[in-house]
Amino acid sequence: MKKKRRYRKSKHMHTKWFYKWMVPILVLFCVGGVLIASVIHRDPAIPTGGAAFVESSREPIVSESEFLEVSSKPEETGPPVIDESDYVEYNGPIEHIFFHPLVVYPELAFDGDYQAKGMDDYMTTNVEFQRILEELYKNDYVLIYPSMIADLKLPPEKKPVIISTDDINYYPYMRENGCNDKLVVGEDGHIASTAVNPKTQKEEIRTDAEVFPILYRFVQEHPDFSHHGAMAIVGLTGYDGILGYRTQKDSPNRAKEMEAVKPVIECLKKDGFVFASHSYAHATTSDKDAAFVYSDCQQWKDEVESLIGPTDLYFFPYGDYPKHGTDAFRTFIDFGFTHLSGVGINTYRKNYEGYWFDDRKNLDGLTFRRCLNQGRDYVNDNGKPSVFNQVWDMMDVDYVFDARRGDTPGQGDFS
């Protein structure tokens, strides 16, 4: 009971301390906690992968002039007409992969400090994300949204994948450890991100540094990678604002931040992205009652949904949730969340009465290192194939792995 009261009293010192320090630490060290144990007792003889350092500043694929030209022709502004007469019903597995805010400056993330191991474990670099897109496209994956699952028809040989993100809030620890500062509207009118370049100490607007700008531009280059315009899902908590803007109730400059974030939300929507709740306080819920869930959902509704609009998507923090069928679980459904997601490498999706539940693969350092340790087509001691083969089936992890992570998690290699 004591614990629950601490979560609720948002002005209480303990709670502030909890949000500022414990939540980030928990985010880093608890997601995919199941995986940790299995990684720990393996000899970390990690291949560095064939991935050479890639200079990560590149021009946006869609230039402003191209964008304006297309927009000025009314007959071309609608969605492209695609002949779908050869599409076939898809009944196979539906992959769902997810990412935290990307690491743009590995020299700040994998710098050997007390947060570096967590950054390596649970984060993905912008270079890795770009390579993952290339691999998915090459291996015949097509982006979809959960709303498209019913009666899904795809070109023959194509396989669906959902891409989602968590914690697109840019908490202070992320900013200090090589992630972006916030999302912004780019010079071409499409989504971009900003961060201070540690080399120049100058703020840069980039289109190659975060999931959304990278994906948007990838789809412009490869329109057939996106089914009916699907992009990625933006997962948001609420306790530290959203998208890098401190819009939470106790923010000192809330009104200004709320004005500033509006064009960014509109830009994300216009570029095709949708939103999900990742809870308000980023708490575990397997140990909470319906009253806690209600209060957390309500706070998210008040402070986040009021800005981004309603959503039926919910991503459980740490992949931790109350038992199906309990009042606590039911409370999420009552709030309108009918696509709920846990975390797991094994592809899992089930239609319960009134809602869908699936697991999302965490494509981060923990998973990449485990994949590389095992190699392709690994067979466990019990004779069963490793679940990590499922990741290899989607992509060449050797190619994806960013060599700047180094051999030891948290100890980057910048030679």
Binding site for Zn ion (CB under 5 A): 166-167, 317
Residue found under tokens 């064939």? 50
Closer to Zn ion by Cβ: residue 154 or 179: 179
Shortest distance, position 173 Cβ to Zn ion, whole Å: 12
DSSP 21: I
Shortest distance, position 20 Cβ to Zn ion, whole Å: 16
Shortest distance, position 314 Cβ to Zn ion, whole Å: 12
Residue found under tokens 């509006």? 262
Whether the CB-CB separation of 404 and 55 falls below 8 Å is answered with no
Closer to Zn ion by Cβ: residue 267 or 293: 293
Determine the Cα–Cα distance for residues 108 and 209; give it in Å rounded to an integer: 15
Closer to Zn ion by Cβ: residue 30 or 54: 30
Encoded tokens for 114? 């007390």
Shortest distance, position 289 Cβ to Zn ion, whole Å: 21
Closer to Zn ion by Cβ: residue 240 or 271: 240
Shortest distance, position 31 Cβ to Zn ion, whole Å: 6
Please calculate the CA angle 321-345-375 and round it to the nearest 5 degrees. 155
Encoded tokens for 292? 């806690």
Shortest distance, position 99 Cβ to Zn ion, whole Å: 11
Closer to Zn ion by Cβ: residue 125 or 341: 341
Q: In what order do the strands lie in the sheet with 202-206?
A: 182-185, 191-197, 202-206
Encoded tokens for 105? 């400056």
Q: Positive or negative, the Cα torsion across 152, 153, 154, 159?
A: positive
Closer to Zn ion by Cβ: residue 160 or 235: 235
Which residue has the CB atom at the shortest distance from Zn ion?
Answer: 166
- Region of residue 369 (left: phi > 0; alpha: psi -120 to 50; beta: else): alpha
